[in-house]
Structure 1
């Protein structure tokens, strides 16, 4: 991940960047450029906390650009969380909202029920609502991170090669 545009324009020109799938349980490479962004006063919008479906029980769409190993490992992590009664979506949302360096988190939602669940997960992550399952979810977060370790920060290129 590079910051070419922000480094090529006068300071103050870029106020915010949108980082897609780089502030997630599977890929938090945004952390590498946070000091630079903070030094420049640039805010971060973290898009796709669920990594375009990788971090969901539904799984990603067929066209998802992630390598096979990443897709399979994320599916394994989702199945593990689900078998323990915890939604990987909740964990992914909590992870994204707990990143102090991120100004805004964007999450795609398809149903009113998903909106309710995701807002609740976000408010709990921010400490605005009590989470009665906090200890269990923290333990599961560590287990899921351990499962994802072999593919942690593996990303994929999209768009023009010079922008990757």
Structure 2
């Protein structure tokens, strides 16, 4: 397992990290024992960062992690969670809820401190509140030692400039924007590095779009996007490979991204991803797949408030 620095935090993150949304059954019903084995296997194979949120399973992910982590030495892992998003329509970034949310997460996870705390999916609210109220409240909690580093997560790239043009952050987490299909995050790397921000990438499969698995019901891919992604997957299969393998290898290859967060409640998947990460990427196949995906390169969807999103291509 390779490790990379996370901005100016001093943390070294494994280039593959474990995303615990799967423990909250965000994609399918899961077997709890399999889910717990997945986390333990990820740690045993060298993944040293676990990412979760109270939104995942509406607290279930944090609670399951708390049960597992109580038997694991705290120095063996880095732990990050989020605040502000609690279900599909419930968002609360007030200073009062910030303090409450941190304490609840600490209790559920059974730890004394969190390595990273992120404001979760800020595109769903008036983002100025994040600047004026949420981040100041988080900084006070950071001073208390309950949280080591703070940042934001979300889908639109516009979140990055909106916040960082007004406030300092330690880290950011972006998802679905450094994949075989969408590399918009790469365009923001110079800006983020100028702000001394650690960059975490997540979701190399773009919520199963870049796999052979059926998409979850809530996936926003259009019929054209689905068809082209399937053509790319079929091409990989015809070449004796798996588009998911290429997706993992591509998303961890950029040295400026500290880690790529990926999760599963299936231990076999975790083991497979680590194996793939250690193999050289097939450059010829990569070029062929990128050519197939070119018509939908950097396609994205609207998430949260329309005014908080990136301009749609003309």
TM-score, L = length of structure 2: 0.46
Please say if residues 24 and 92 of structure 1, whose CA atoms lie closer than 8 Å, have aligned partners that are also in contact.
yes
State which of 42, 54, 57 in structure 1 corresponds to 2:212. 57
Aligned residue for 1:103? 258
Say whether residues 1:93 and 2:248 are aligned partners: yes
Mapping of 1:1-164 within 5 angstroms? 1-2=157-158, 3=160, 4-9=162-167, 13-124=168-279, 131=280, 134=281, 137-164=282-309
Q: Secondary structure at the match of 2:256?
A: coil
2:265, 2:243 → 1: CA distance?
17
Deviation of the 1:45 alpha carbon: 0.9
Please say if residues 22 and 28 of structure 1, whose CA atoms lie closer than 8 Å, have aligned partners that are also in contact.
yes
Deviation of the 1:82 alpha carbon: 1.0
Please say if residues 67 and 156 of structure 1, whose CA atoms lie closer than 8 Å, have aligned partners that are also in contact.
no
1:82, 1:68 → 2: CA distance?
21
Structure possessing the higher radius of gyration over alpha carbons: 2
Instruction: Could you tell me which runs of 5 or more consecutive residues in structure 2 were left unpaired when the two chains were aligned.
Output: 1-156, 310-314
Deviation of the 1:101 alpha carbon: 1.7
Deviation of the 1:66 alpha carbon: 2.2
* Bigger relative contact order, structure 1 or 2 (CA pairs below 8 A, ≥6 apart): 1
Change (3 A) 1:58 1:49: same
1:79, 1:46 → 2: CA distance?
26
Instruction: Could you tell me which runs of 5 or more consecutive residues in structure 1 were left unpaired when the two chains were aligned.
Output: 125-130
Deviation of the 1:163 alpha carbon: 2.6
1:149, 1:50 → 2: CA distance?
16
1:44, 1:163 → 2: CA distance?
20
What is the RMSD of the two structures over their aligned residues, measured on CA atoms?
A: 1.3
1:158, 1:68 → 2: CA distance?
18
2:235, 2:214 → 1: CA distance?
14
Mean CA deviation greater in 16-25 or 103-112: 103-112
TM-score, L = length of structure 1: 0.86
Aligned length: 151
Deviation of the 1:150 alpha carbon: 0.4
Change (3 A) 1:76 1:59: farther
Q: Deviations along 1:59-98, whole A, 9 cap, x unmatched? A: 4223201222212111110111012110101100000010
